[in-house]
Structure formats: structure tokens, C-alpha cells
Structure 1
Amino acid sequence: MIEREAHHASVAVVIPYYQRKTALLRRAVESVASQSELTATQVRVIVVDDGSPLPPAGDLAELRLPDHLTIEIVARANGGAGAARNTGIIHALALGCTHLAFLDSDDHWAPSHLSAALSALEDASFYFANSMHDEVPSFSYFKAMKDRRGDGLITGAEAFDLILDECVPHTSQVVYRLAAFADIRFDETMRRTGEDHLFWLTIASRGAALAYSSQIMGHRGSGISIYREALAWDSPTFIPRLLDAFRFRSLVAARFGLTAAQARVNSGHRQRAADEIAFALARRALHSPHTVAREVKQVLRVGPALWRAIAAAIPRLPLIRRRMVNA
């Protein structure tokens, strides 16, 4: 049983900030300030300015905050969301915080998010909740979560298998005991996808039970999203995102002692990333051949494992296209 300390908690809320629209950060922080049943809990909001073109100070001016909440801005050179979150983690450790929550600067929380998280973390070390994503509950996207109701615990072994297959926790809905995972950091080499997925897998690999709530505890916003911007086929970051996805699956294979079944799941996802890279290169060759040389160089830098996976995908390009169209 984990020692009870919710009533003496000090929660760091790490907000990586890189935006071009005003008022998004203000709404996010106001949702933190509006958290219920936290008067005995110290809340430290750490806004990490990741070289944002729009400074955060304007959104934070004249905010009315409860006595138990403080805000500070930590500035750093642009390094991506993972690097900004790492800066926040280091700062939270220096402050002696007991718990850490993440919140993207364009997202916002339901009023009971933190109190529910602290309650759940009396019996677990890591918590995540459901949220609204484009007006759809995020759990509905995942086969492992769409039929779960209420609150619950997932054992460490089950959690690893679940997260290996699907990146279920949304970063803005994660809260965890900081001391339990004080050494874990986001991989800063993956800036478009995979860095959060690897973080959650690392936690699950340590056998920790994961608490979850199927209640809607937040809403995703519409500000800058490096991931969403890289989803469109014609986006210049479409192939770099897929390269990050391939690297992520390669890191998982190298870092964790996967069972045969887990290795099959992971290699399937890795081949899928290679399939989509092969499709994207073929499409670029047809529609924008002037970009192909640059993108081929990016692929070549990844190494022979990707080259072989792309070669295996070429005979299946019509099937891959149909799959992507229907996704």
C-alpha cells in the first residue's frame, strides 16, 4: 500500500508553451486555478516558455489566483515539447513537489481533475483520465479503453501490453508521484511523435499499477500541435513524423526485454510506419518530385533496418494506400 499523503501534496503543473494565439494559455491556467477541493494542496504552475513566438506573460497578466497556487515562467531555447517538459520536471524536483501533472498550453481541465487524481494516487503511482478530443471521448479511440467505465486500476504487466499497442494516456491528463519516477525523462530526439509514448512505457515497465478514470477530465484545444500538423499527407513534416514513429519502435525493441508476443506487436507497428513512409515517398515522387531527394536523405540517415522495411512495403503499396485512405 502506498503511503497516504494526498492532504500534504505539492503538485507541479508543467505547461510547455509555444503558441501564436492569445488567450489559450490563460484558459489553461484558469482551469488549474479552478480546481476543486485543493485548498490544503500547494499547486505550483511551471510554464516552460520553449522559445515561443508569443510570450506567455501577456496571457498571465492580472490573473486572479487562489492562495494555494503560484505561477512561474521558466524560459529556454526551443527544443520541442519533450525538452520543455523535461525542463519542467527538473524544476519541479528542485521545488520538492510530491506530484507532477502535465497540461498542454491549449488544453484545459475539468474542475475535479486534480482532486480525483490525488485520490486515485493513494493506491497507485501513475494516473490518467479520459478527455474530449474533437468532441469525442479520447478513450473511445482505443480498443483497450473504450468499454471501461468508471475508475479502476491496471496492473503493471497489463499496462505495459496495453500501452505497447496503443498510446492511451493523453499527456494533459497524466498525474504521477514524482519521487516514484524522478529519473524518467522524455526523449528529446523525437519531436513529432513517440516521446510521450516511450515515457509511459518506461513507467509501465517498472511494474507500477496505473490508475485511470473514464470520466471526462479535460478538453483538448486547437493551438499549435506539432503532431496534428504532421498528419496531413502533404505536410512537410509528414515523413519526419513517420521517421520518429519508426525510431520509437526501434528504441522499444532495443530498450525493453520484450516477450515474443510483445515483439510481434511492436514489429507490426514498426513495419506500419515503414509502409506509410514508402507510400509517402511514392506519392511525393508523383506530386512533388522536387522534395523527394531531401526526404530520401532523411530516410537514408535512419539506417538499414528502415531501408529493408521500405523495400518490403513496395510490393504492397496499393494495399497500403487503401488502408491509409480508409483510416
Structure 2
Amino acid sequence: MAKLTVIIPFYQKEPGILGRALASVFAQEFKDFDVIVVDDESPYPADGDIVGLSREERARVRIIRQENAGPGGARNTGLDHVPAQTQFVAFLDSDDTWTPGHLAAAHAAMTGFSADCYFASITGGDEFYYHFGVADLERTEAVERLSDDPLLIEVPGLTQVMLKNWSFLHLSSMVIGRPLFERVRFDAALRLAAEDVLFFCDCVLAARRVVLGGAAGAVRGEGLNIFHGVDNDSPQFLRQQFNTWVALDRLESRFAERPAEVASLRSYKQTARRQALWSQARRLRHRKLPQFDMLARWAMRDPRILASAVELAVGKFSR
């Protein structure tokens, strides 16, 4: 059985995307892997993108079909079906690709430094402008170099650093060991929100050691994955912001004894409130009713959103 399992959640609306991701998987220098593709009730089925694989490659790909559960739910299904002999799990979004040395670098770093979690850097196009690489952390944070070539670092107080700005982290460049994939799961209810950040934090908290690699291990797709097709004017935007707030609130409970992390999380929670309220103000400007059901649900969990609404209204009228 393979030493490493690749998990790819799949929900796409056009052919060729999964085939491109799989091509980057089978181009890896590290060859001791198998692949689980979770077809999350995709409009375009996963089967169509594996016909171009060789017989040997197809034998290493397992497709699991399920009712739509969102990206977190799809990844959980993959984690629940990892073979007993697997030592590591690597995630790859179906619209992303890996650089050829990604798995080899991850395996070497994790075995060489007894790490349970590894993050490579990731690159992308213009739509990925907010992201930055692992090497950039050395300019602003205290880090410990474990290796110069390849660049490997460890970040003391990683949770505090990532909660200030987690834009150097991405699931497609993440690899975890058995102590994590046996016990940590995504909160599938938080689809289209911050379920990945919650997963990152839970893994970092549970890991013996986390190693970060400076080299790019993945290349991000350009918006082809329709998991992320929600903009500020979408009817789903309010739910997305509520789910983000819920994820941040859960993280705050995990870091209750760490004031710096709590301060960052409370700031993000207030941003989620404001973005949600502005989206409802835009609905009114377009002569649409606010989404009262979702707002009431939010207010039951978080009465502070009412105070935020008053603050925004006062600010608007004062101007």
C-alpha cells in the first residue's frame, strides 16, 4: 500500500480541470502515493477526467461519490477513507496543480524533522494578489531556519502569526501526518467560509511540529473552482459571512488564554459583521428586502451585530 494518500475534493462545471490536477500528481518525483477523488455531486462527473490516464494510473485513483456536502465535507469523506497503511495525507484542490517536487520536499521535511504538518508556498496569478510566500515571513516575523537549501523554517508562535494574516497558507500546499488525519476534521457546515482556517489552527495546535517550505509546492487555479463563486452581491454572501463569524468564534474559544490571538480574532469577527451589514444595505439600495431570516439567526448567536448595525446607521446619517 502507498505511503501517502492524495485527497482531491471535486465539484466542477467543465471538463479538463481534474485531468490537469491529476497530471501534476502523477508528475511527482515522489511516487509512493495513491489518490482519493471525492465527487461531491459535481455537475461534471469526475469519471470524464480520468479516461486519459494510463491503466496503471487509473488503478491508483479511487473515486468516491457522495451527495453534495461542500469542500469540507468532501475532504472529510476522503480522510475517512484513507487506507490503514498510509502515513501522510496531502490535499489538492481540483483546480490547482502541484510543482513536480512538492511531495518529495514534504516527505523529506516531515521525516527529517519529525513534523506532523507541512506547508509549502503556493503561487498564483493576478487574482491571487493577496497571497505571499513562506520566505516572506522572515521579513516580518521571528523564524528559525531549519535548512537553507531547500529553505525550511519553523515559526515560534505560529498560531499568532497565522491569525494576523493567514494568506501564506493554502490547503493545496498542506501535508499532514497520521496523528493529525486520524483525529482532525473540517467543520463541513462552514462551507464557503473559514473552515480551512479552522482546520489549519486545529492541525497546528495538535501537531508536534510544523515545518514550512519556502519553495512553491502548488500553483493556484484562477477561479475555475465553483466552490468559491460567491461575490459581495450574491444571495449566499450573508451566509458565507455568518459561517466565517462562526468559525472565528470557535477559534476564539480555542485561544481563550492567548490575548494576542483573541484580539486578532475579534477584529476579524467585526469585519465579518460589517461586510454582512453592508451587503444588506446594498440590497436595500437595489430595492430588495434584507435577508431577515439569516440576520435573525445571526443575532441569536451574536447580539453584537445589532450594535454594529446601529453604528453603521449612525455613521451613514451623520455623513
TM range (shorter): 0.7 to 0.9
Q: Does 1:100 align with 2:81?
A: no
* Residue type of the alignment partner of 1:171: L
- In the alignment, the residues of structure 1 paired with residue 234 and residue 183 of structure 2 have an alpha-carbon distance, to the nearest angstrom, of 35
How far 1:33 moved relative to its partner? Answer: 0.3
Gaps spanning 5+ residues in structure 2: where? 141-147
* Residue type of the alignment partner of 2:40: D
Alpha carbons of structure 1 residues 247 and 165: separation in structure 2 relative to 1, 3 Å? same
Structure 2 counterpart of 1:300, from 280, 296, 307: 296
Alpha carbons of structure 1 residues 286 and 126: separation in structure 2 relative to 1, 3 Å? same
- In the alignment, the residues of structure 2 paired with residue 133 and residue 314 of structure 1 have an alpha-carbon distance, to the nearest angstrom, of 39
Structure 1 counterpart of 2:118, from 127, 136, 140: 127
* Residue type of the alignment partner of 1:224: N
**Aligned residue for 1:264?**
263
Q: Which region of structure 1 is more displaced relative to structure 2, 199-208 or 169-178? A: 199-208
Q: Is the 8 A contact 1:33 1:69 kept in 2?
A: no
- In the alignment, the residues of structure 2 paired with residue 179 and residue 226 of structure 1 have an alpha-carbon distance, to the nearest angstrom, of 28
How far 1:139 moved relative to its partner? Answer: 4.5
Q: Does 1:217 align with 2:213?
A: no
- In the alignment, the residues of structure 2 paired with residue 109 and residue 318 of structure 1 have an alpha-carbon distance, to the nearest angstrom, of 49
**Aligned residue for 2:202?**
202
**Aligned residue for 2:16?**
23
- In the alignment, the residues of structure 2 paired with residue 318 and residue 140 of structure 1 have an alpha-carbon distance, to the nearest angstrom, of 37
Q: Is the 8 A contact 1:131 1:218 kept in 2?
A: yes
How far 1:317 moved relative to its partner? Answer: 6.4
- In the alignment, the residues of structure 1 paired with residue 130 and residue 271 of structure 2 have an alpha-carbon distance, to the nearest angstrom, of 22
Gaps spanning 5+ residues in structure 1: where? 1-7, 321-327
Alpha carbons of structure 1 residues 12 and 306: separation in structure 2 relative to 1, 3 Å? same
Q: Does 1:140 align with 2:132?
A: yes
Q: Is the 8 A contact 1:21 1:54 kept in 2?
A: yes
**Aligned residue for 1:4?**
none
TM-score (norm 2): 0.85
- In the alignment, the residues of structure 2 paired with residue 279 and residue 215 of structure 1 have an alpha-carbon distance, to the nearest angstrom, of 39
- In the alignment, the residues of structure 2 paired with residue 128 and residue 287 of structure 1 have an alpha-carbon distance, to the nearest angstrom, of 43
- In the alignment, the residues of structure 2 paired with residue 207 and residue 14 of structure 1 have an alpha-carbon distance, to the nearest angstrom, of 20
**Aligned residue for 2:145?**
none
Q: Which region of structure 1 is more displaced relative to structure 2, 193-202 or 129-138? A: 129-138
Which aligned pairs between 1:49-128 and structure 2 lie closer than 5 A? 49-64=39-54, 70-92=60-82, 94-122=83-111, 123=113, 124-128=115-119
Q: Which region of structure 1 is more displaced relative to structure 2, 160-169 or 109-118? A: 160-169
Tell me the number of residue pairs that the alignment of Structure 1 and Structure 2 aligns.
303
Q: Is the 8 A contact 1:279 1:317 kept in 2?
A: no
- In the alignment, the residues of structure 2 paired with residue 9 and residue 121 of structure 1 have an alpha-carbon distance, to the nearest angstrom, of 16
Q: Is the 8 A contact 2:134 2:213 kept in 1?
A: no
**Aligned residue for 1:254?**
253
- In the alignment, the residues of structure 2 paired with residue 209 and residue 238 of structure 1 have an alpha-carbon distance, to the nearest angstrom, of 36
* Residue type of the alignment partner of 1:211: V
RMSD: 2.8
Q: Which region of structure 1 is more displaced relative to structure 2, 183-192 or 65-74? A: 65-74
TM-score (norm 1): 0.84
- In the alignment, the residues of structure 1 paired with residue 211 and residue 2 of structure 2 have an alpha-carbon distance, to the nearest angstrom, of 18
- In the alignment, the residues of structure 1 paired with residue 215 and residue 38 of structure 2 have an alpha-carbon distance, to the nearest angstrom, of 28
Which aligned pairs between 1:157-176 and structure 2 lie closer than 5 A? 158-167=157-166, 168-176=168-176
How far 1:215 moved relative to its partner? Answer: 1.6
- In the alignment, the residues of structure 1 paired with residue 160 and residue 67 of structure 2 have an alpha-carbon distance, to the nearest angstrom, of 36
SS in 1 for 2:137: coil
Deviations 1:186-221 (A, max 9, x none): 001100111111111012223532211222222111
Q: Is the 8 A contact 2:11 2:227 kept in 1?
A: no
